[in-house]
Amino acid sequence: MTELFVNGEARRVHADPMTPLSGVLREELHLRGTKAACGEGFCGSCTVFVDDDAVASCLVPLGLAEGRSVRTVESLADPTGALSPLQQAMKDNDAVQCGMCFPGMLMSLTALLETNPSPERRDVHEALVGNICRCTGYERIVDAALTAARAATAAVEEDAS
């Protein structure tokens, strides 16, 4: 039995400690927003937060997540159900196509925006170096991230003034 905190809630899971975290999230906790498209850490579709780091959960054995905080795509919308600004920007930009990469994209970009609220375009590219999208050609995803960042920065400045 391994205890970890998933999306703010203490969860006990039965899987073997060597089971990839992505598998535990998907199979045992039924959090299937986290995808596992390659299972080898190259596509980024399984990206989740472990504590403050966005990581490929297919490469994290459950045992290493013991006692730690895990955040998945299901946690991004606020408790009232409203999309996060980043999710909303993706929707407004018509960025989504098949959708398989988006959970991972959103987690990588959420990590970026939490550490760098005013990223340049190349910062977004660097943040997505581990996330493959086969449908969109990326531009709208990058645009949406920059839009969300600008909106958040503007809101902060407005509060300050």
Q: How far is CA 106 from CA 17, 37, 73, 96, 149, in A?
A: 27, 15, 7, 11, 13
Site string for another protein, 23-62 (x = CB under 8 A): ---xx--xxxxxx-xxxx-xx-x-----------------
Q: For the chain, what's the residue count?
A: 161
Pick the closer one to another protein by CB: 132 or 152.
132
* Alpha carbon distance 42, 144 (integer Å): 23
- Among 70, 76, 113, 148, which residue sits at the site for another protein (rule: CB under 8 A)? 76
**Cα four-point dihedral sign 138, 55, 30, 81:** negative
Site string for another protein, 97-136 (x = CB under 8 A): xxxxxxx--x---------------x-xxx-xx-xxxxxx
Task: Count the Cβ atoms, other than its own, within 10 Å of residue 89.
Answer: 24
Q: Which stretches of the chain bind another protein, using CB under 8 A?
A: 26-27, 30-35, 37-40, 42-43, 45, 72-74, 76-77, 83, 87, 90-92, 94-103, 106, 122, 124-126, 128-129, 131-142
